[in-house]
């Protein structure tokens, strides 16, 4: 705040040059130039975030109070959209579907990501570590759209590679994409395939961050195997675990391209996620107001879950 | 971590004891590696299947058992992609949008990151935390108003509608701030004594020193926007403006009854740019992903 004060008091000092306060070749002038440059450098980001992120969040709230189909002028209807939402069994069902998806997807993501990271960080030859890491990381490069396409072919009931190899093991053909429960499983598996590399990388980062003193102390005390994992490794990577859980839930609640391309929400509504219902309301049925209502509810849930996770994390997470 | 085991300490142990040591120290390890290897093969299999099926005759594409090695590669699927959809146009659209966003984000994020790391001004911390807070806002919470805004700006159904809203980046700002903070302040003092002005200090002294940070941001951004599906689906109607992921979904729709080899040829081609970026930038990609995690 000091530089603001000095700016205002220093300004009238030179009557000849109106820009003297900024061009002045003194330390104070340099500080003022730096402050001005700071605002200048920030302006594209701040302006952009105001226009394309912060503003739209507020605007979403406003839109959720209107009935608006783009073609006719918006009509204020108060909380009627929210009332409609809480009686819209299809929309409510989609939130439940998203919830089920997130529970399975995120827990698998955390377990598989952690196991892979533990294996990769254990003692092994460099080229092996490198090969494993690349293999598990590779799916992250594929787009959700391409993943959905490739895996839906591979999961085809009659001709898919997955059922063929399961058949060799004596498993009868699984109706992966054509039966509600299996369709959800297919989406979860595809999502896991796509995203576990990220979780693994997070945990590798967390594991390398454990100080060697702690590990040496564990060695001296003879902590091994599961004891060592529960009492040393897990507490030490708990900040990473919290971060992976938070980003996992946020990402999982936003899943769209996999169900959209693999099952189009079906069979029935069994894989219709919250984002899909929002997309259909706003961009298929052109109900901008009602779509915004669904978006607002989703946003509030994401914020609530994240806050809850940090709340639980505060008590359980161990920071070095 | 088991560099010393019972065997090295007691070489005279009996065969039975040596066997139990083997079970204890080696067998478990081998089983873990075997399972990991099988899992790695399963994880990579979709890639191998995609590439090999893309080179097979359309009529054989769904044959069972799956054939992994193609003896007579048939490249006609690749040319067929370009006949079915305006794939060349889609490639150009994807490159245009992705590269514009990468360059734009490098500019906005390095400016903002530098401001937060190295310049002092009133309200700096408050602004920083406000920007960081916007990282929590999911795309879906803003997409409808942004769509309305884009339409009002006359940008509906243009590639600019994808580029413009993606230019400001809270994550990139955070990332670049971390890198700028890692550069010692001595550089600035030395440059000031040499008579450099603030803009020169930023552009000539600091920017080259945070090149790794710029690479991290570029690689992450490229990967994210090359693969983007949700925004293009909503913002674009005209097939000649489609980006590759949208084109793939369309192609799959056409091909429900036709050849999947053609679709997989398109998928294979869509992977080439990200693979190249990965091969040259994997260090930065992994570094960037870890940075997001460690600081969280």
Q: Which of A6, A25, A146, A151 would you mutate first to test chain B, the one with the most B CBs within 10 A?
A: A146
Query: CA torsion sign, A228 to A232 to A235 to A237?
Result: negative
- For chain B positions 67-106, those within 8 Å of chain A (CB to CB) are none
Domain harbouring A209, CATH code: 1.10.3720.10
pLDDT given at position B296: 39
What would the CATH number be for the domain defined by B78-295? 1.10.3720.10
CA separation, residue B51 to residues A152, A173, B223, B239 (Å): 16, 25, 20, 26
Name the pLDDT band for B68 (thresholds 50, 70, 90).
confident
pLDDT given at position A9: 47
The predicted-structure confidence for B108-161, as pLDDT tens digits, reads as follows 999 999 999 988 888 889 999 999 988 888 888 899 999 999 998 888 889 999
Give the pair of three-digit tokens for residue B65.
């058992």
- Domain annotation covers residue A76: no
Return the SS3 of A20.
helix
- Domain annotation covers residue A218: yes
- Domain annotation covers residue A308: yes
pLDDT given at position A4: 46
B111: nearest CA partner in chain A: A41
- C-beta atoms of A206 and B50 within 8 A: no
pLDDT given at position A43: 92
- Domain annotation covers residue A73: no
pLDDT given at position B255: 54
Are residues A133 and A257 both part of a single domain? Answer: yes
Name the pLDDT band for B75 (thresholds 50, 70, 90).
confident
The predicted-structure confidence for B1-60, as pLDDT tens digits, reads as follows 445 555 555 556 677 777 777 776 677 788 888 999 999 999 999 999 999 888 887 776
Q: Output the average pLDDT for chain B.
A: 85
Q: Cα–Cα distance between B257 and A261 in angstroms, integer?
A: 16
Are residues A50 and A95 both part of a single domain? Answer: no
Name the pLDDT band for A279 (thresholds 50, 70, 90).
very high
Nearest Cα to Cα of residue A106 among A254, A244, A299, A271: A244
The predicted-structure confidence for A66-117, as pLDDT tens digits, reads as follows 888 877 788 888 888 898 889 888 999 999 999 999 999 999 999 999 999 9
pLDDT given at position A6: 45
Q: Output the average pLDDT for chain A.
A: 86
Count other C-beta atoms under 10 Å from residue B96's C-beta: 14
Q: By the CB < 8 Å criterion, does B224 face chain A?
A: no
Domain count, chain A: 2
Q: Cα–Cα distance between B136 and A301 in angstroms, integer?
A: 12
Are residues A172 and A275 both part of a single domain? Answer: yes
Q: Does the pLDDT at position A2 exceed 50? A: no
- C-beta atoms of A291 and B144 within 8 A: yes
Q: Using an 8 Å Cβ cutoff, are A191 and A261 in contact?
A: no
Percentage with pLDDT > 70 across chain B: 89
The per-residue b/e assignment along A41-68, b for 16 or more CB within 10 angstroms, e otherwise, is: bbebbbebbebbbbebbebbbebbbbbb
Q: By the CB < 8 Å criterion, does A111 face chain B?
A: no
How do the domains of chain B map onto residue ranges? 6-54, 78-295
Are residues A53 and A174 both part of a single domain? Answer: no
B140: nearest CA partner in chain A: A295
Q: Between residues B242 and B81, which one has the greater pLDDT?
A: B242
Are residues A142 and A44 both part of a single domain? Answer: no
ipTM: 0.84
Q: Does the pLDDT at position A10 exceed 60? A: no
Q: Which of A36, A119, A139 sits opposite B32 (nearest CB)?
A: A119
Q: Which of B64, B107, B119 sits opposite A159 (nearest CB)?
A: B64
- B79-82: long-range pairs with CB below 8 Å, 24+: B80/B259, B80/B262, B80/B265, B81/B251, B81/B262, B81/B265, B81/B266, B81/B269
Name the pLDDT band for B244 (thresholds 50, 70, 90).
very high
Q: By the CB < 8 Å criterion, does A310 face chain B?
A: no
Domain enclosing residue A28, as ranges: 2-63
pLDDT given at position A136: 93
Q: Cα–Cα distance between A165 and A182 in angstroms, integer?
A: 17
pLDDT given at position A227: 78
Q: Which of B134, B144, B233 sits opposite A295 (nearest CB)?
A: B144
Give the pair of three-digit tokens for residue A152.
């839906």
Q: Which of A4, A138, A303 sits opposite B122 (nearest CB)?
A: A4
Q: Where is the domain boundary, A37, A63, A89?
A: A63
- For chain A positions 264-293, those within 8 Å of chain B (CB to CB) are 275, 278-279, 282-283, 288, 291-292
pLDDT given at position A280: 92
pLDDT given at position B254: 64
| Overall average pLDDT of the A61-68 stretch | 90
pLDDT given at position A82: 92
> Contacts of residue A246 in chain B, CB cutoff 8 Å?
296
Are residues A163 and A312 both part of a single domain? Answer: yes
Q: Using an 8 Å Cβ cutoff, are B207 and B244 in contact?
A: no
| Overall average pLDDT of the A222-239 stretch | 80
| Overall average pLDDT of the A199-211 stretch | 86
- C-beta atoms of A204 and B290 within 8 A: yes
**Cis? peptide before B137, omega within 30° of 0:** no
Are residues A160 and A259 both part of a single domain? Answer: yes
Q: Using an 8 Å Cβ cutoff, are A154 and B46 in contact?
A: yes
- Give the best-scoring range by mean pLDDT among A198-207, B53-62, B184-193: A198-207
- Domain annotation covers residue A70: no
Q: Does the pLDDT at position A180 exceed 60? A: yes
pLDDT given at position B286: 78
Are residues A267 and A118 both part of a single domain? Answer: yes
Q: By the CB < 8 Å criterion, does A159 face chain B?
A: yes
Q: Using an 8 Å Cβ cutoff, are B251 and B232 in contact?
A: no
- Give the best-scoring range by mean pLDDT among A106-120, A156-170, B191-205: A106-120
Are residues A50 and A90 both part of a single domain? Answer: no
Q: Between residues B100 and A8, which one has the greater pLDDT?
A: B100
Q: Does the pLDDT at position A163 exceed 90? A: no
Are residues A8 and A136 both part of a single domain? Answer: no
Q: By the CB < 8 Å criterion, does B274 face chain A?
A: yes
């Amino acid at each position: 705040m000091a530089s603001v004060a000095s700016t205002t008091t220093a300004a009238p000092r030179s009557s000849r040059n109106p820009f003297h306060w900024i061009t002045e070749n003194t330390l104070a002038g340099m500080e003022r130039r730096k402050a001005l440059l700071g605002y200048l450098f920030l302006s594209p980001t701040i302006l952009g975030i105001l226009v394309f992120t912060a503003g739209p969040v507020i605007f979403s709230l406003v839109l959720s109070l209107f009935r608006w189909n783009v073609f006719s002028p918006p009509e204020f209807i108060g909380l009627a959209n929210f009332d409609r939402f809480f009686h819209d069994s299809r929309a409510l069902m989609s939130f439940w579907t998203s919830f089920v998806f997130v529970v399975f997807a995120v827990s698998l993501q955390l377990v598989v990501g952690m196991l892979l990271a533990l294996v990769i960080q254990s003692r092994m030859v460099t080229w092996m570590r490198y090969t494993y890491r690349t293999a598990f990381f590779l799916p992250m490069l594929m787009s959700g759209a391409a993943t959905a396409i490739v895996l839906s072919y591979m999961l085809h009931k009659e001709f898919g590679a997955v059922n063929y190899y399961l058949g060799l093991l004596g498993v009868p053909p699984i109706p992966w994409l054509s039966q509600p429960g299996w369709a959800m499983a297919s989406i979860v598996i595809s999502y896991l395939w796509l995203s576990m590399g990220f979780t693994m990388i997070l945990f590798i980062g967390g594991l390398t961050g454990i100080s060697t003193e702690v590990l040496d102390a564990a060695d001296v005390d003879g902590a091994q195997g599961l004891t060592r994992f529960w009492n040393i490794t897990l507490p030490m990577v708990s900040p990473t675990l919290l971060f992976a859980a938070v980003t996992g839930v946020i990402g999982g609640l936003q899943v769209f391209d996999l169900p959209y391309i693999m099952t189009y929400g079906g069979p029935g509504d069994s894989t219709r996620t919250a984002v899909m219902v929002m997309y259909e309301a706003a961009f298929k049925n052109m109900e901008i107001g009602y779509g915004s209502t669904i978006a607002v509810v989703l946003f509030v849930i994401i914020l609530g879950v994240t806050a809850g996770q940090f709340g639980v994390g505060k008590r359980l997470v161990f920071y070095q | 971590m088991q560099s010393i085991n019972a065997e090295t300490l007691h070489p005279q142990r009996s065969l039975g004891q040596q066997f139990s040591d083997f079970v204890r120290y080696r067998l478990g390890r081998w089983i873990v590696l075997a399972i990991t290897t099988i899992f790695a093969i399963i994880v990579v299999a979709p890639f191998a299947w995609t590439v090999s099926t893309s080179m097979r005759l359309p009529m054989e594409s769904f044959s069972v058992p799956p054939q992994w090695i193609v003896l007579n590669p048939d490249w006609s699927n690749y040319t067929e992609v370009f006949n079915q959809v305006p794939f060349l146009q889609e490639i150009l659209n994807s490159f245009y949008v992705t590269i514009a966003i990468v360059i734009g984000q490098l500019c906005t994020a390095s400016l903002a990151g530098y401001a937060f790391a190295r310049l002092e001004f009133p309200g700096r911390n408050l602004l920083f935390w406000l920007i960081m807070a916007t990282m929590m806002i999911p795309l879906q919470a803003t997409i409808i108003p942004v769509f309305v805004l884009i339409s009002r700006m006359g940008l509906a159904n243009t590639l600019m509608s994808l580029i413009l809203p993606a230019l400001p980046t809270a994550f990139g700002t955070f990332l670049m701030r971390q890198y700028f903070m890692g550069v010692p302040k001595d550089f600035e003092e030395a440059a000031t004594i040499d008579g450099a002005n603030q803009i020169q200090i930023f552009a000539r002294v600091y920017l080259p020193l945070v090149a790794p940070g710029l690479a991290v941001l570029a690689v992450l951004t490229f990967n994210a926007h090359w693969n983007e599906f949700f925004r293009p689906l909503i913002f674009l109607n005209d097939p000649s403006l489609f980006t590759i992921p949208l084109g793939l979904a369309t192609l799959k729709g056409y091909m429900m009854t036709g050849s999947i080899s053609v679709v997989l040829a398109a998928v294979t081609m869509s992977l080439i740019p990200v693979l190249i970026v990965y091969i040259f930038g994997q260090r930065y990609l992994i570094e960037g992903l870890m940075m997001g995690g460690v600081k969280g």
